[in-house]
Structure formats: C-alpha cells, structure tokens
Chain A
Amino acid sequence: MAEASGFSRRKLIAMVGAAAGSAPAYQVMTSLGFAEDSPYRGPIRLDGDPKGASVLVLGAGLAGMTAALELHRAGYTVQILEYNTRAGGRNWSLRGGDTYTELGGATQSCAFDAGLYLNPGPWRIPYHHHGVLDYCRRLGVALEPFIQLNHNAFVHSTAGFGGTPQRIRTVKTDFDGATAELLAKATRKGALDAQVSKEDQEILIEALRSLGGLDKDLAYRAGPDSSEFRGYAHDPGGGLAARPMDGEPMALHDILTSRLWRGLQNFLLYEFQTTMFQPVGGMGRIGEAFARALPPDTIRYGAKVTQIAQDGHGVTVTYQDLGQGGAVRQAQADWCVCALPLTVLSQIPTQVGSKMKAAIDAVPYASSVKVGLQFKRRFWEEDEHIFGGISYTDLPIRQISYPSTGYNAGGKGVLLGAYTWNGPNSYEFTALSPAERVRRAVAYGSQIHPQYRTEFETGIAVAWHRVPFTLGCAGDWTDEARAEHYDNLCALDGRIMLAGEHASYIPAWQEGAILSALDAVTRLHKRVLAA
C-alpha cells in the first residue's frame, strides 16, 4: 500500500469522524478495510421448524460436533458416526496412561506424570479466533494464557554464533537497535530528503531513538539506553555490588549471517500475536466438552464409514462397527454433514457430483510431527529462567516449547521437544519408529539444553501421516487448487454438505473447522426450510 494512499484514507476517516461522531467513522473504516469484520457473528440462530428432519454427521471432531450441537438445538434429530473410540478428532491431548497405536502398528504408552500432557494437534488459540473462544465460554472450558513470545527463550542456529543459542531478547533488540541506528543516521545525512519532509524526518529520528534504544548520538551501543531494552550483562541489584553492567550488543553482521532473525517472524504474524490461549489441562478439554453437551448416545464410536449414498429422499451411510468385529451396518437420515478429513473421504465411495468429487480429491494433507518429552525437573525455569514461550532452531526439531502453566513450582514438566511442519525433516521423522523420533528429539534438543542428557525421563511422538483417523495433518491448499475447487467443495450436493478445517480459509486451525460447520448448517437449514 502506497504511503500517499494510506495517508489520504486516514485523513478521510478523521474528517468523517469529526463531522458525524464515531459510529459512521467505524463504518467507513470497515468499508475501507481498516477494521476487519470478524466472520464469527456470535451464537447462530437457526429459526424455523425443521419438522423432525434428521441429519447424519460423519466425524466427531470440532466441525462435526459443532454441526451436531447446533442442529440438535434447532430441532433436528442428529446422529454422529466416529471412527475413534473418543470424541474430538485432532482436538486431542495425550496424558499418562493413554496408549496410542499409529499406522504400521507401533503402540506407545504415555508415561507422563499426572497433570502433564502433549497436545499432538492444535495447541494454541489466537485471540481473534472468536468462534473457538465463544464455544469455550459457552461449554465451560477454562482457558489460560499460552505464551508464544518469551523474550528469554532462544533462537538457535547450528552455524551462527558457534551453535550457541541466543536469547530472543538480545537478538530482537540488537537487530531493531542496529537497523534503527542505520535508518536514523541515513535520515540525518539526507538520504530520505526526496521521500520524507524535514518535519517528518525529525519525528522519525525521535521515534527511532525512542523505540530502538539509541543514545543521544543516535548510536546503538553498550550503555544505559540499550540496556533498558536488551537487559544487562549484570542485572541491577541491591546493596554492595549492585551496580548494573551493560552488555555489548551483537554485531549486525553476526545477526544477519546467522539467520537468527528468521525465528522472529513467529512473534509478529497475526496468527501468533498476543494474547493466545490454551485450555487448562490440555486442548482435548474442548472436544470432551462438546461431547458432553450433545444428547447422550449421539455419537456412535468405532464406526468406520465405507460408503456414502444419497437419493431424492435421504442419505444412507454404510459403516463397519469396529467394536463388533467390523460388522457391516447402515445409518440413514434426511441429510448428511460430512466432516471426515479429505484424506479419508477421498477413498470412500461417495455419491456426489463430479465437481465435488474432484474437489475432495484435490487437497493433499500437510506432514507434521510432534514429540513430547518429560523431564525430572523444570530446568528451563530453574537454570535458564524460561517461563513458557518457544525457542526456534534450524535443527530438525525446529522448536522447543515450554509449558505455559505450573510455573516456578518445581517438579517435573513436559516440553514440546519437536514440531515439524512439511519439509524433508517432517517426512524423515515420520519414517522413523516412535522410539527413534523421541531419541532424536532428545539428542537434537540437548544441543540447546544440555540438561536433556541427565534430566530426560520419557517421551511420546505423534507423526500425523501415521495417525489412523486422519492420515495427515491438515488440508494443504494451493492458491490454484482453491481457485478451481474450493467453492465446489463447500457447495451443498443434493443432501450432502462438507465441513471441516479443509472447507475454510483458516486451514489447520480449529477456528476454520468451527466456522466451516456453522456456515454449512446455516445453508443446510435454509435448504431444509425451503423444501
């Protein structure tokens, strides 16, 4: 966006606001794209009598259960078929005592202590995911802050700074300070004369000095101005020997060539900005709460869908009852909301038109691996003063996330010891046995935290391409595939409507699943009333 255009838009808004009060100004802002309207508009109202219509929902993940809950409240007869023996789908927490068998047959027993867990799937909720947050509030799921940015966590590269992890605080401050100094001095030398007025240049220099930790000479260097941002080599204390010692900033060249700045993007992107949340006790609490909110026996567990058929009167779904030796059964309803992952649905004979079928077949699923590691003590807090947050690294584990709860209480803790997303390492981790994934997560992580070697106790690893109920992590759309197939994927096909994160513009996020389901049942309900 060009400067001039932004300036004139702001000027227009200010004029409207001054002339007519703030409400018209807000409308103008919305129409000009400054104030984004949330796609979530509060609890949906499905007014009108569905006259006993029935809906069969496939999949008891967040999309399926959102659809089922709202349709039930609107007066529909609802049943869900679910492959697993629990509700939630990818909304899932592994706790001590749980066992998990992946594709290929490897079974892991989670040996975490009471209260400790790994969220193999979603693990954090942005403040602007209004749908997830509203359902948590309505279903009584207690939330707590999820720490995305901890200035005292690390960024790490195997090559930069001799492989020594660097504090996010100093890398971010020193990068900002060095670039502020360059820009301030270039401005003072007249390098911006053609673009910026003299008055604005003075304000710009003042802003750079204020925000960049520059001293009165516009220099970013060891001294009280930079220390107030980057911290001290020796913190101020009390009594004798209390005088603070300023630290020497890193050289800009070292920050640039180490590529450590790459990790900082994870704290700037809209999806990761503070405040983020997590459910108290594990992300799985949301799926459990949805299941409790549904009428008893709404969910039929252990049901593997093998065929989806429809005609002018209704939908017939054939499934294997896995709890009864795979006995073949059928379920029927007037309508179907199918919230199965596309990896699964694309393999099920499904009676839909060629456009929807092509869309179902068009979306590959991302590769992702997570490893949870339990340690005898919370050394990251005790030794390194890291309370929550994430360290980023170019090692195959990519990140280490510290628990956002139970601070400063001592005892054991579970780290997220690896979290890959696509790329070669994600496939390579998946191809390893679970035990070897854990072993490598410990070996790699010990390059950042040497305490791993003595404090590690037990771990569990989930590779999403080996998860039996999804065969992949999440819909991995390309722009081209979206342009060709997305609308066809979301359209009502006879009596069948799809829902899930894959049927949203927020793929891989729970918000996408919920918004997709709300949109699907709204359109389905309108169709039912029109019938």
Chain B
Amino acid sequence: MSVFSMFRTLALLLATGAGAAAQEHATHAAIPSAGPAMSEGKSFAEGGGEALYAQVCAACHQAGGEGAVGAAAYPALRHNPKLASAGYPVTVLLYGLRGMPPLGSMMTDTQVAEVVNYVRSHFDNPYGDAVAPEDVKAARP
C-alpha cells in the first residue's frame, strides 16, 4: 500500500467516522441471502416463464393468478378464456391495457413469449399452442 493510498484510506475512515463499518462495506455481498434475486439495470433479469410470472405479473395478478378486487380489479388470469388467443396477452403485455402499464420494453422477445406461454398453460388454462419470440417481435410497437 502506497503512502498515498494509505492517506486516502485514513482520510476515508476519519470522514465516515466509522472505521469498522467502512471496512465491512467492501466485503459484504450485494444480494440479500434468501429468496429470488432482483434485477440490475432497466430490464427484467428473470429467466423462464415461471420466474417472470412470480416476480413481475404476480405483483398485481397475484401468485396463483387469482387477481384481486378493490375499488377496481385486477382480472384473474386463472381459467381465463380471453387467453385462448395468444395474440391477446402478447398485445396487453406490450401495449398495456387501461391502468396496466406496458412492460414489453423491460423484457426481451423471449421473455415475453416465455411468460405468455407459462400463463396460457398454467392456472387451469389449457392452451398448448406456444408463441415464439419471433411472434413477439412482430407484434412490438
């Protein structure tokens, strides 16, 4: 350690007034120990439909796709016949719908396809025809 860098370290310790604390910052891991990681940057980092659903869609549509009701409602995605055509959920996700924000700019084509396919084949939805990333790309604004 050079004299210069020692001086800087000393200055830092004096400036923060918490020497032990300052040393601890540098070594402590960035992610809390348990549960799913959170995204860095401006796009969702989750991979796969299940993770995307659980960490994004479930914010409003709830963990089991049951939706929620207050002064207005988040529609249940469970057993939802509007999902019969894959184009509908793709469009809603990319363009938003009324109060629902458009989320497509924070997801890749693959992620949009994955989460749409997940919802359409889970929560009592029987739709097996998967959308491809190319379909999503074609539907983007």
Contact = CB atoms under 8 A, between A and B. Distances in A.
A469 B71 contact: yes
B54 A424 contact: no
A450 B19 CA distance: 11
A83 B71 contact: yes
Interface string B16-46: 1110011011101010110110111111110
B58 interface: yes
B: contact size bracket: 35 or more
Given A425-B38, A471-B99, A384 B70 contact: no
Interface in A290-325: 304-305
Contacts of B8: 248
B130 interface: no
Contact of B30 (A158, A348, A449): A158
A439 interface: yes
Contacts of B57: 431
Interface stretch (B100-108, B121-129, B132-140): B100-108
Interface in A230-267: 231, 233-234, 245, 247-248
Contacts of A162: 25-26
Given A424-B38, A431-B59, A234 B17 contact: no
Given A162-B25, A424-B44, A465-B59, A346 B98 contact: yes
Contacts, number: 162
A43 interface: no
B70 A440 contact: no
Contacts of B12: 164
Interface string A490-530: 00000000000000000000000000000000000000000
Interface of B: 4, 7-8, 10-12, 14-18, 21-22, 24-26, 28, 30, 32-33, 35-36, 38-45, 54-60, 62, 68-74, 96, 98-103, 106
Given A162-B26, A384-B18, 11 more contacts: A103-B60, A164-B25, A344-B71, A346-B99, A384-B17, A424-B41, A428-B38, A443-B32, A448-B25, A469-B70, A470-B71
19 contacts: A163-B26, A165-B16, A167-B15, A304-B71, A342-B99, A347-B98, A364-B96, A365-B101, A384-B18, A423-B42, A424-B44, A424-B45, A424-B106, A427-B59, A428-B56, A430-B60, A431-B56, A469-B71, A471-B99
